[in-house]
Amino acid sequence: MTVATAGSQPAVPPVDETSGEESFWDERAVSGNEAVAGAADDLVVRDAREFGAYARTGGWAFALKVARSVRPGGQAAGETPKVSAKEFAELAGCSPERVMRFYKAWDMAADDGVVPQFEALAPGEDVELPEAEMWLSYYSSRNSATSVRGTAITAAAEAEGIRPTKALEVAENPTALRAAILADPSTAEAARGALLDRIKEDPVLQAELARDVLRTEELKKAVATESRAADRIGYVRQIVENGQIKTPAGQTIDAPVELRAEAERHLSLLDELDDGEEVGEWVTEAYDTVKGLVVEAVEADPELRVQERRTKFYSSLQKATKVFEELTFDDADDIYEDDMVHRLEELQQAIATCITALRKAAPER
């Protein structure tokens, strides 16, 4: 072990006593690090400034690059240092169509006086750019936006308060739309609502959907079920709103107070159900309950009960009369069968019996 004495030199000299050569390399290392840090700072500053320019101006920053570098149509190559849209696209590594979409956006904005005309711009020249919010008023990222169909979609999107580009993207990918509808209930609900809105003004779509329903057994059953439920709800609702009931024989009479109150109770339960909640059982219970109360009301009133039977008789008689009035016998020779005559004779006997019973019941005059 080495022990340092008062007169001995330290094994490692202090930092401030290092040789001149060592100091040179240390200073060079420090200055090199500072240079690297400075260069990195410059790159960060440049990125930040470019990001800020895009954040403030949106697509205008890129449109300016196109506007000042791509020569306008009709201008010869020798008249300007600008290049064609095709050449610019090759240099940019993108399609000429994409370049032209930026070009057309700038062109429309120039016509409105929002930005300078192409001829006033030189390659590399910077100008004051509009706010980013104005960009989407002039730019469309899809070729379909300029078609009649695209124009209609754009107008509908603007009416809904959404970006047209989103609607156009969906319209150009119906397979993706189908997948979303199949997989997501909320998307399916949005599609259903849109179809219902469109069907009001589209007779062709109305007819097509009607045919689809008739061709699909599940839909036919669903429509029949919903129609029956709607009729039953309507039956209960009209008792509450009009205060009248329709008897089994078809008479319309004032509803008893208790019956109307019960109908109102069931209707309030139906109205309180959440949208989409199954109403089938509730509707059946309401209808059967109210219908049963109507029958009880008829049976409880002797005069009403007699009138009900009389109404049923006339209804049946009217139907039978209409059937026989519509019969023709011009081709009796062709359709004749012994059984026809036999059944008519039985019917004649039944009618005779009915007439006899009614005559016996007739009051004496």
pLDDT of amino acid 10: 40
Alpha helices in the chain (DSSP H): 20-57, 60-69, 85-92, 96-111, 148-160, 164-171, 174-183, 185-199, 203-215, 217-242, 257-271, 280-300, 302-325, 332-335, 338-361
Residue 105 has pLDDT above 90, yes or no: no
pTM assigned to the model: 0.44
pLDDT of amino acid 51: 78
pLDDT of amino acid 245: 86
Residues 220-265: pLDDT tens digits? 998 998 899 889 998 889 888 998 888 888 888 888 888 889 999 9
Looking up tokens 């090759």 gives 90
Question: Cα angle vertex 55, ends 52, 58, to 5°?
Answer: 130
Choose among 95, 90, 180, 179: nearest CA to 142: 95
pLDDT range class, residue 298, cuts 50, 70, 90:
confident
Check residues 327 and 142 and name the one with the higher pLDDT: 327
What residue segments make up the domains of the chain, in order of their start? 50-139, 146-215, 218-308, 311-357
Residue 27 has pLDDT above 70, yes or no: no
pLDDT of amino acid 9: 41
pLDDT range class, residue 2, cuts 50, 70, 90:
very low
Residues 333-356: pLDDT tens digits? 888 899 999 999 999 999 999 999
Q: Is the dihedral of CA 104, 105, 108, 113 positive or negative?
A: negative
Encoded tokens for 236: 């209960």
pLDDT range class, residue 305, cuts 50, 70, 90:
confident
* Rg of the chain (C-alpha set): 45
Distance between CA 131 and CA 173 in Å, rounded? 31
Q: Do 297 and 262 touch, CB atoms closer than 8 A? A: no
Encoded tokens for 27: 């200073």
Averaged pLDDT for residues 272-289: 80
What would the DSSP string read from start to end of 30-91?
Answer: HHHHHHHHHHHHHHHHHHHHHHHHHHHHTTHHHHHHHHHHBPPTT--GGG-S-B-HHHHHHH
